[in-house]
Amino acid sequence: MALPKGKMFDDACHLLESAGYVFQGLSSKSRKLTFDSADGELRVLMIRGADVLTYVEHGGADLGVVGLDLILEQGRHVLEPLDLKFGLCRLVVAAPAGKASQSDSRPLRVATKYPRLAEQFFLERGMSVEILKLYGSLELAPKVGMADQIVDLVATGKTLRENQMEIREEILVSTARLVVNRASWSLKNERIRLFMDRILPFLSKERVISEG
């Protein structure tokens, strides 16, 4: 199973441990990249969030944990049988607080980690935009005049508030999903179903923000 090292790591580990999988030394800080459960049923691979779908699509991992935001952005051929409920966040359009939309006719400049979803969102509204792909600290882009708006993830809203920005539109709501390699689903169906049966009772009833 490919596990993302970032914000959802602690919740994913907690779920596996609740379901009875025991891993010695499993931590996001570890430099070791594979961990086997004591019962020999599950091997965890520590992966950067953006790479999880590549591992699962290409069979490097049978299973993975990844946000719906990345599944939709990357458009990979994987199965997505379970909403894991943690990792709740929203992909939104945000702009400097109180700033009126620009009135000149040049295209809106939008900074984002999600170029496909952003472009699709504005295209559906018939708006022509110039997308600037960044890898982080998106809230800086409007401050330094590189962009008019951003398309970014919001969970608590703290980052937007602390950078004097406000939400203008919501594009999607995301939570962590269990993703499965298509061939593994057929070849290891019974084991994957057993795994899902083991974690199902421990999924939160409500969608929750991951604090990691």
Ligand X SMILES: O=P(O)(O)OC[C@H]1O[C@H](OP(=O)(O)OP(=O)(O)O)[C@H](O)[C@@H]1O
Ligand Y SMILES: Nc1ncnc2c1ncn2[C@@H]1O[C@H](COP(=O)(O)OP(=O)(O)OP(=O)(O)O)[C@@H](O)[C@H]1O
Q: Which CB, 102 or 156, lies closer to ligand X? A: 156
C-alpha–C-alpha distance, residues 82 and 68, integer Å: 11
**Residue number, 168 or 182, with CB nearest to ligand X:** 168
Joined together, the tokens standing for residue 47 give: 């992966």
Per residue, what are the HEC states of 66-100? EEHHHHHHHCCCCEEEEECCCCCEEEEEEEECCCC
Q: Is the Cβ of residue 137 or residue 189 nearer to ligand X in the bound state? A: 137
H-helix or E-strand spanning residue 18: helix 9-18
Between 54 and 159, whose beta carbon lies closer to ligand X?
Answer: 159
Which residues would be at the binding site for ligand Y (CB under 6 A)? 4, 6-8, 48-50, 67, 69-70, 87, 89, 153, 155, 174, 210
157 binds, options ligand Y, ligand X, none, Cβ within 5 to 8 A by partner type: ligand X
Q: How far is the CB of 117 from ligand Y (least distance, A)?
A: 11
Partner that binds at residue 158, options ligand X, ligand Y, none, CB closer than 5 to 8 Å by kind: ligand X
Binding-site ranges for ligand X (CB under 6 A): 136-138, 152-159
Q: Cβ neighbours of residue 199 under 8 Å, at least 6 residues apart? A: 15, 16, 18, 19, 82, 178
Place of tokens 């203008």: 168
Cβ 176 to ligand Y shortest distance, Å: 7
